[in-house]
């Protein structure tokens, strides 16, 4: 049975924080609480979103550190002090190193705008269009040392339409992100979702390589 607010999460952002907003909206009537929002960018609009809801914020500017490892260590220490149940990456534009990822293994989620394992990395929408792809979508996965390569938890697809540009397609995918991410976080908060080794487990069942297939919708 879900126990409201027993699962405390830290959300990492670098930009506008639209997925953060979706999580904030969901948290008001869900089983998780956002304890802190951390950004590497002091200008990130997502910080203002958090402050509006009296969520504590913290800025850890990666440019203030000589090496990526130094930044990762500072971030690790800051999060360890908060002691969250889960770390949620929501448009966090830094690649986390192996020491950070291994320390919080099984407790980090990421959302990626493609149907992984297709199109890891950046510029996914344009790459789909350039390849003449007919479907695109979003993936939520556990974070491991492999870039966008952790166990997949859930995906949702959208059709690629003839009129699509990169920005139009991105906007349609983003709508799906705002639905799928809070849902997956609630699964984790309810104790239904785990990472076991290199596999994602939901309700004691091993998930398939592409995770839980969410509803397929074509938006005209």
User: Does 31 map to a domain?
Assistant: yes
On whether the pTM is more than 0.75, the answer is yes
Closest CA to 188 of 95, 104, 81, 98: 104
Per annotation, catalytic residue among 62, 112, 125, 141: 112
User: Does 220 map to a domain?
Assistant: no
Within a 10 A sphere around the Cβ of 27, how many other Cβ atoms? 23
User: Does 219 map to a domain?
Assistant: no
Residue 125, domain CATH: 3.40.50.170
Calculated CA dihedral for residues 21, 166, 180, 89, nearest 10 degrees:
-60
Residue range of the domain that includes 73 = 7-213
User: Does 23 map to a domain?
Assistant: yes
The pLDDT value recorded for residue 173 is 98
What total number of domains does the chain contain? 1
Q: Using the structure block, give the residue that is written with the tokens 């990762």.
A: 72
**Cα(196)–Cα(168) distance, rounded to whole angstroms?**
37
The verdict on whether 112 is a catalytic residue reads: yes
User: Does 102 map to a domain?
Assistant: yes
User: Does 83 map to a domain?
Assistant: yes
**Cα(115)–Cα(157) distance, rounded to whole angstroms?**
7
User: Does 2 map to a domain?
Assistant: no
User: Does 218 map to a domain?
Assistant: no
pLDDT in tens, the chain (220 residues): 344 468 999 999 999 999 999 999 999 988 999 999 999 999 999 999 999 999 999 999 999 999 999 999 999 999 999 999 999 999 999 999 999 999 999 999 999 999 999 999 999 999 999 999 999 999 999 999 999 999 999 999 999 999 999 999 999 999 999 999 999 999 999 999 999 999 999 999 999 999 998 754 332 2
């Amino acid at each position: 049975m879900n126990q409201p607010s027993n699962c405390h999460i830290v959300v990492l952002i670098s930009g506008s924080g639209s997925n953060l907003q979706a999580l904030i909206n969901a948290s008001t009537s869900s089983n998780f609480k956002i304890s802190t929002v951390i950004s590497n960018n002091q200008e990130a609009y997502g910080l203002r979103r958090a402050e509006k809801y009296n969520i504590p914020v913290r800025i850890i500017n990666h440019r203030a550190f000589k090496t990526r490892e130094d930044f990762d260590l500072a971030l690790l220490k800051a999060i360890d002090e908060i002691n969250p149940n889960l770390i949620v990456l929501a448009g966090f534009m830094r690649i986390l190193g192996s020491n950070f990822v291994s320390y919080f293994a099984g407790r980090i989620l990421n959302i990626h705008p493609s149907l992984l394992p297709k199109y890891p990395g950046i510029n996914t929408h344009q790459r789909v269009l350039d390849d003449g792809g007919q479907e695109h979508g979003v993936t939520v996965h556990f974070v491991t040392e492999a870039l966008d390569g952790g166990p997949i938890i859930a995906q949702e697809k959208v059709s690629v339409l003839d009129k699509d540009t990169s920005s139009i397609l991105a906007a349609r995918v983003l709508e799906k992100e705002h639905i799928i991410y809070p849902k997956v976080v609630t699964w984790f908060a309810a104790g239904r979702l785990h990472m076991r080794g290199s596999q994602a487990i939901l309700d004691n069942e091993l998930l398939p390589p592409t995770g839980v297939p969410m509803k397929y919708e074509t938006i005209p």
